[in-house]
Protein backbone atom coordinates (compact mmCIF):
# COMPACT_ATOMS: atom_id res chain seq x y z
CA UNK A 1 0.00 0.00 0.00
CA UNK A 2 2.74 2.42 1.01
CA UNK A 3 6.51 2.27 0.78
CA UNK A 4 8.82 4.88 2.31
CA UNK A 5 12.50 4.59 1.31
CA UNK A 6 15.41 6.42 2.98
CA UNK A 7 13.25 9.44 3.78
CA UNK A 8 15.04 12.45 5.26
CA UNK A 9 13.45 15.80 6.06
CA UNK A 10 15.54 18.86 6.91
CA UNK A 11 13.79 22.14 7.76
CA UNK A 12 15.82 25.26 6.93
CA UNK A 13 16.95 27.28 9.95
CA UNK A 14 19.74 29.71 10.95
CA UNK A 15 22.15 26.92 11.85
CA UNK A 16 22.18 25.12 8.51
CA UNK A 17 19.05 23.01 8.85
CA UNK A 18 17.02 21.12 11.44
CA UNK A 19 16.96 17.42 10.65
CA UNK A 20 13.50 16.10 11.61
CA UNK A 21 13.70 12.64 9.95
CA UNK A 22 16.83 10.73 9.01
CA UNK A 23 16.88 7.96 6.38
CA UNK A 24 13.59 6.46 7.44
CA UNK A 25 12.23 3.40 5.65
CA UNK A 26 8.95 1.62 6.28
CA UNK A 27 6.14 -0.11 4.48
CA UNK A 28 2.46 -0.42 5.28
CA UNK A 29 0.17 -3.19 4.04
CA UNK A 30 -3.42 -2.59 2.87
CA UNK A 31 -5.88 -2.45 5.80
CA UNK A 32 -3.10 -2.37 8.33
CA UNK A 33 -3.43 -0.18 11.44
CA UNK A 34 0.00 1.19 12.34
CA UNK A 35 0.74 3.43 15.33
CA UNK A 36 3.69 5.79 15.62
CA UNK A 37 5.12 6.34 19.10
CA UNK A 38 8.11 8.37 20.23
CA UNK A 39 9.36 11.32 22.25
CA UNK A 40 8.06 14.81 21.60
CA UNK A 41 9.69 16.47 18.58
CA UNK A 42 11.02 13.24 17.02
CA UNK A 43 9.28 13.83 13.68
CA UNK A 44 6.04 11.81 13.90
CA UNK A 45 3.82 14.62 12.61
CA UNK A 46 6.43 15.47 9.99
CA UNK A 47 6.18 11.93 8.62
CA UNK A 48 2.36 12.21 8.39
CA UNK A 49 2.69 15.58 6.63
CA UNK A 50 5.11 14.11 4.10
CA UNK A 51 2.71 11.22 3.46
CA UNK A 52 -0.16 13.70 2.99
CA UNK A 53 1.95 15.71 0.52
CA UNK A 54 2.07 18.78 2.77
CA UNK A 55 5.85 18.66 3.38
CA UNK A 56 8.29 17.69 0.60
CA UNK A 57 10.96 15.07 1.37
CA UNK A 58 14.51 16.45 1.40
CA UNK A 59 15.74 13.02 0.32
CA UNK A 60 14.18 9.63 -0.29
CA UNK A 61 10.86 8.56 -1.74
CA UNK A 62 7.25 7.77 -0.87
CA UNK A 63 5.41 5.36 -3.17
CA UNK A 64 1.75 4.38 -3.05
CA UNK A 65 0.14 1.33 -4.59
CA UNK A 66 -3.58 2.03 -4.30
CA UNK A 67 -4.74 -1.20 -5.97
CA UNK A 68 -3.28 -3.95 -8.11
CA UNK A 69 -4.56 -2.72 -11.50
CA UNK A 70 -5.12 1.01 -11.11
CA UNK A 71 -2.64 3.81 -11.34
CA UNK A 72 -4.64 6.68 -9.86
CA UNK A 73 -3.45 9.16 -7.25
CA UNK A 74 -4.04 7.88 -3.70
CA UNK A 75 -6.84 9.42 -1.67
CA UNK A 76 -5.39 10.49 1.69
CA UNK A 77 -7.33 11.97 4.63
CA UNK A 78 -5.74 13.61 7.65
CA UNK A 79 -7.33 14.16 11.08
CA UNK A 80 -5.60 16.50 13.54
CA UNK A 81 -5.67 16.85 17.33
CA UNK A 82 -8.32 19.56 16.94
CA UNK A 83 -11.44 18.70 14.97
CA UNK A 84 -11.31 21.98 12.96
CA UNK A 85 -15.03 21.91 12.20
CA UNK A 86 -16.72 24.77 10.33
CA UNK A 87 -18.72 26.52 13.10
CA UNK A 88 -21.39 27.76 10.67
CA UNK A 89 -22.17 24.27 9.38
CA UNK A 90 -24.04 21.66 11.41
CA UNK A 91 -22.77 18.10 11.98
CA UNK A 92 -24.29 16.74 8.77
CA UNK A 93 -23.06 19.69 6.70
CA UNK A 94 -19.53 19.40 8.12
CA UNK A 95 -19.39 15.75 7.10
CA UNK A 96 -20.73 16.36 3.58
CA UNK A 97 -18.27 19.23 2.95
CA UNK A 98 -15.58 17.19 1.10
CA UNK A 99 -18.23 15.69 -1.22
CA UNK A 100 -19.78 19.12 -1.81
CA UNK A 101 -16.33 20.36 -2.91
CA UNK A 102 -16.10 17.43 -5.33
CA UNK A 103 -19.50 18.35 -6.79
CA UNK A 104 -21.35 15.26 -5.51
CA UNK A 105 -25.13 15.74 -5.57
CA UNK A 106 -26.66 16.69 -2.20
CA UNK A 107 -29.01 13.69 -1.73
CA UNK A 108 -26.16 11.23 -2.40
CA UNK A 109 -23.74 13.14 -0.12
CA UNK A 110 -26.36 13.27 2.64
CA UNK A 111 -27.06 9.54 2.39
CA UNK A 112 -23.37 8.74 2.72
CA UNK A 113 -23.01 11.18 5.63
CA UNK A 114 -25.94 9.58 7.47
CA UNK A 115 -24.32 6.14 7.14
CA UNK A 116 -21.11 7.52 8.65
CA UNK A 117 -23.00 9.36 11.39
CA UNK A 118 -24.36 5.96 12.36
CA UNK A 119 -20.88 4.39 12.15
CA UNK A 120 -19.40 6.98 14.55
CA UNK A 121 -22.43 6.84 16.87
CA UNK A 122 -23.80 10.36 16.37
CA UNK A 123 -27.39 9.58 15.35
CA UNK A 124 -29.71 12.33 16.57
CA UNK A 125 -26.98 14.99 16.42
CA UNK A 126 -27.16 15.65 12.65
CA UNK A 127 -28.47 19.21 13.10
CA UNK A 128 -26.27 20.16 16.06
CA UNK A 129 -23.74 23.00 15.72
CA UNK A 130 -20.04 22.31 16.42
CA UNK A 131 -20.12 24.71 19.39
CA UNK A 132 -22.66 22.45 21.13
CA UNK A 133 -20.57 19.26 20.83
CA UNK A 134 -18.18 17.74 23.37
CA UNK A 135 -14.53 17.29 22.34
CA UNK A 136 -15.07 13.57 21.74
CA UNK A 137 -18.16 14.18 19.60
CA UNK A 138 -16.34 16.81 17.55
CA UNK A 139 -13.53 14.33 16.85
CA UNK A 140 -16.07 11.73 15.76
CA UNK A 141 -17.41 14.28 13.25
CA UNK A 142 -13.83 14.91 12.05
CA UNK A 143 -13.30 11.15 11.60
CA UNK A 144 -16.59 10.81 9.68
CA UNK A 145 -15.61 13.79 7.49
CA UNK A 146 -12.32 12.01 6.72
CA UNK A 147 -14.00 8.65 6.01
CA UNK A 148 -16.56 10.15 3.62
CA UNK A 149 -13.70 10.70 1.16
CA UNK A 150 -13.26 6.89 1.11
CA UNK A 151 -9.51 7.36 1.69
CA UNK A 152 -6.94 4.75 0.71
CA UNK A 153 -4.95 5.96 3.69
CA UNK A 154 -6.28 7.58 6.86
CA UNK A 155 -3.70 9.61 8.80
CA UNK A 156 -4.58 10.41 12.42
CA UNK A 157 -2.31 12.88 14.22
CA UNK A 158 -2.97 12.46 17.96
CA UNK A 159 -6.72 12.64 17.32
CA UNK A 160 -7.58 12.28 21.02
CA UNK A 161 -4.65 14.28 22.41
CA UNK A 162 -6.84 17.20 23.48
CA UNK A 163 -9.38 15.03 25.36
CA UNK A 164 -9.48 14.16 29.07
CA UNK A 165 -8.13 10.72 30.04
CA UNK A 166 -11.48 8.94 30.42
CA UNK A 167 -12.99 10.33 27.21
CA UNK A 168 -9.76 9.46 25.44
CA UNK A 169 -9.95 5.84 26.60
CA UNK A 170 -13.56 5.60 25.43
CA UNK A 171 -12.70 7.15 22.07
CA UNK A 172 -9.91 4.58 21.65
CA UNK A 173 -12.46 1.78 22.01
CA UNK A 174 -14.85 3.56 19.63
CA UNK A 175 -12.13 4.01 17.02
CA UNK A 176 -11.42 0.30 17.31
CA UNK A 177 -15.08 -0.43 16.47
CA UNK A 178 -15.07 2.07 13.60
CA UNK A 179 -11.91 0.54 12.14
CA UNK A 180 -13.21 -3.01 12.57
CA UNK A 181 -16.19 -2.04 10.39
CA UNK A 182 -14.46 0.27 7.85
CA UNK A 183 -11.09 -1.60 7.64
CA UNK A 184 -9.17 1.38 6.29
CA UNK A 185 -5.38 1.53 6.15
CA UNK A 186 -4.51 3.77 9.12
CA UNK A 187 -1.35 5.45 10.34
CA UNK A 188 -1.89 7.06 13.73
CA UNK A 189 0.38 9.16 15.93
CA UNK A 190 -0.21 8.70 19.64
CA UNK A 191 1.59 9.27 22.92
CA UNK A 192 -0.34 6.47 24.60
CA UNK A 193 1.20 3.00 24.73
CA UNK A 194 -2.08 1.45 25.75
CA UNK A 195 -4.00 3.18 22.91
CA UNK A 196 -1.37 1.96 20.42
CA UNK A 197 -1.65 -1.63 21.64
CA UNK A 198 -5.43 -1.67 21.75
CA UNK A 199 -5.71 -0.45 18.16
CA UNK A 200 -2.77 -1.42 16.04
CA UNK A 201 -1.34 -4.34 14.09
CA UNK A 202 2.12 -2.83 14.42
CA UNK A 203 3.76 -0.10 16.49
CA UNK A 204 6.73 1.85 15.13
CA UNK A 205 8.85 3.51 17.82
CA UNK A 206 10.89 6.58 16.81
CA UNK A 207 14.25 7.64 18.26
CA UNK A 208 14.64 11.21 19.53
CA UNK A 209 15.21 13.72 16.69
CA UNK A 210 16.31 13.15 14.00
CA UNK A 211 13.64 10.49 13.91
CA UNK A 212 14.50 6.96 12.86
CA UNK A 213 12.60 3.77 13.64
CA UNK A 214 14.23 1.95 16.54
CA UNK A 215 11.52 -0.71 17.01
CA UNK A 216 8.93 -2.22 14.65
CA UNK A 217 6.73 -4.23 17.01
CA UNK A 218 3.98 -6.52 15.65
CA UNK A 219 0.99 -6.52 18.01
CA UNK A 220 -0.05 -10.17 18.12
CA UNK A 221 -3.12 -9.65 20.33
CA UNK A 222 -6.09 -11.55 18.84
CA UNK A 223 -8.79 -9.65 16.97
CA UNK A 224 -11.55 -8.65 17.26
CA UNK A 225 -10.29 -6.84 20.34
CA UNK A 226 -12.23 -5.31 23.17
CA UNK A 227 -11.41 -3.10 26.14
CA UNK A 228 -10.59 -6.18 28.30
CA UNK A 229 -7.50 -6.95 26.19
CA UNK A 230 -5.73 -4.24 28.24
CA UNK A 231 -5.74 -6.62 31.22
CA UNK A 232 -4.15 -9.62 29.44
CA UNK A 233 -0.59 -10.73 30.31
CA UNK A 234 0.49 -10.37 26.64
CA UNK A 235 -0.69 -6.76 26.64
CA UNK A 236 1.56 -6.15 29.65
CA UNK A 237 4.57 -7.76 27.94
CA UNK A 238 4.11 -5.69 24.78
CA UNK A 239 3.66 -2.50 26.83
CA UNK A 240 6.93 -3.24 28.64
CA UNK A 241 8.77 -3.72 25.30
CA UNK A 242 7.44 -0.40 24.02
CA UNK A 243 8.31 1.44 27.23
CA UNK A 244 11.87 0.11 27.08
CA UNK A 245 12.26 1.15 23.44
CA UNK A 246 11.00 4.67 24.17
CA UNK A 247 13.53 4.81 27.01
N1 LIG B 1 7.43 23.54 9.34
C2 LIG B 1 8.48 23.40 10.15
N3 LIG B 1 9.52 24.26 10.10
C4 LIG B 1 10.58 24.12 10.90
N5 LIG B 1 10.71 23.14 11.83
C6 LIG B 1 9.70 22.28 11.94
C7 LIG B 1 8.53 22.34 11.12
N8 LIG B 1 7.70 21.33 11.46
C9 LIG B 1 8.31 20.65 12.45
N10 LIG B 1 9.50 21.22 12.74
C11 LIG B 1 10.47 20.73 13.72
O12 LIG B 1 10.75 19.37 13.38
C13 LIG B 1 10.88 18.58 14.57
C14 LIG B 1 9.87 17.44 14.53
O15 LIG B 1 8.57 18.00 14.70
P16 LIG B 1 7.24 17.10 14.70
O17 LIG B 1 6.09 18.02 14.92
O18 LIG B 1 7.24 16.27 13.49
O19 LIG B 1 7.49 16.16 15.98
P20 LIG B 1 6.48 15.20 16.74
O21 LIG B 1 7.21 13.94 16.99
O22 LIG B 1 5.19 15.11 16.00
O23 LIG B 1 6.29 16.00 18.11
P24 LIG B 1 5.07 15.97 19.18
O25 LIG B 1 4.99 14.55 19.68
O26 LIG B 1 5.50 16.92 20.23
O27 LIG B 1 3.83 16.41 18.45
C28 LIG B 1 10.68 19.53 15.76
O29 LIG B 1 11.94 19.94 16.24
C30 LIG B 1 9.92 20.70 15.13
O31 LIG B 1 10.23 21.90 15.82
Give 110-171 as a DSSP string: HHHHHHHHHHTT-TT-TT--GGGS-HHHHHHHHHHHHHTT--SEEEEESTTTTS-HHHHHHH
> Which residues are 157's β-sheet partners?
189
CA-to-CA distance for 238 and 208, rounded, in angstroms?
Answer: 21
Q: Is there a single domain that holds both residue 141 and residue 165?
A: no
Q: Is there a single domain that holds both residue 132 and residue 192?
A: no
Q: Is there a single domain that holds both residue 52 and residue 98?
A: no
Chain centre distance of CA 96: 20
Please tell me if the CB atom of residue 49 comes closer than 6 angstroms to any atom of ligand 1.
no
pLDDT at 185: 95
* CA-nearest residue, atom 18 of ligand 1: 43
Host H or E run for residue 173: helix 165-182
Q: Is there a single domain that holds both residue 192 and residue 217?
A: yes
- On the question of pLDDT at 70 being above 90, the answer is no
Last residue of a domain, one of 102, 119, 150: 150
The alpha carbon of 158 and the centre of ligand 1 are apart by a number of angstroms equal to: 14
Q: Pick from 169, 161, 139: which is nearest to 229 by CA?
A: 169
The alpha carbon of 32 and the centre of ligand 1 are apart by a number of angstroms equal to: 25
Please tell me if the CB atom of residue 42 comes closer than 6 angstroms to any atom of ligand 1.
yes
- On the question of pLDDT at 130 being above 80, the answer is yes
In a domain, 80, yes or no: no
| Domain range enclosing 141 | 85-150
Q: What is the number of the ligand 1 atom nearest to the C-alpha of 191?
A: 25
Residue 33 CB neighbours (<10 A): 25
The alpha carbon of 121 and the centre of ligand 1 are apart by a number of angstroms equal to: 33
Q: What is the number of the ligand 1 atom nearest to the C-alpha of 38?
A: 21
Last residue of a domain, one of 113, 128, 150: 150
In a domain, 52, yes or no: yes
Model-level ipTM above the cut of 0.90: yes
39 touches 208 (CB < 8 A) = yes
The number of distinct structural domains making up the chain is 2
The pLDDT confidence band at residue 68, using thresholds 50, 70 and 90, is low
pLDDT at 16: 85
Residues 6+ apart with CB under 8 A from 54: 78
The rounded mean pLDDT for the chain is: 94
Q: What is the CATH number of the domain that holds 217?
A: 3.40.50.300
pTM of the model: 0.94
Last residue of a domain, one of 128, 150, 172: 150
Amino acid sequence: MLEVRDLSVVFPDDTGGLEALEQMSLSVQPREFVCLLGPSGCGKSTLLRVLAGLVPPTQGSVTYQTCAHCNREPRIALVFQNANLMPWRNVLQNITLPLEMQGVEEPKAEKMARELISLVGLEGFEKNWPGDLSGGMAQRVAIARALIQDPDLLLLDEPFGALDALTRERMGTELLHIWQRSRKTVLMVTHSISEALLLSDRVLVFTPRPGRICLDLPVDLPRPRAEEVRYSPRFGELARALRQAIG
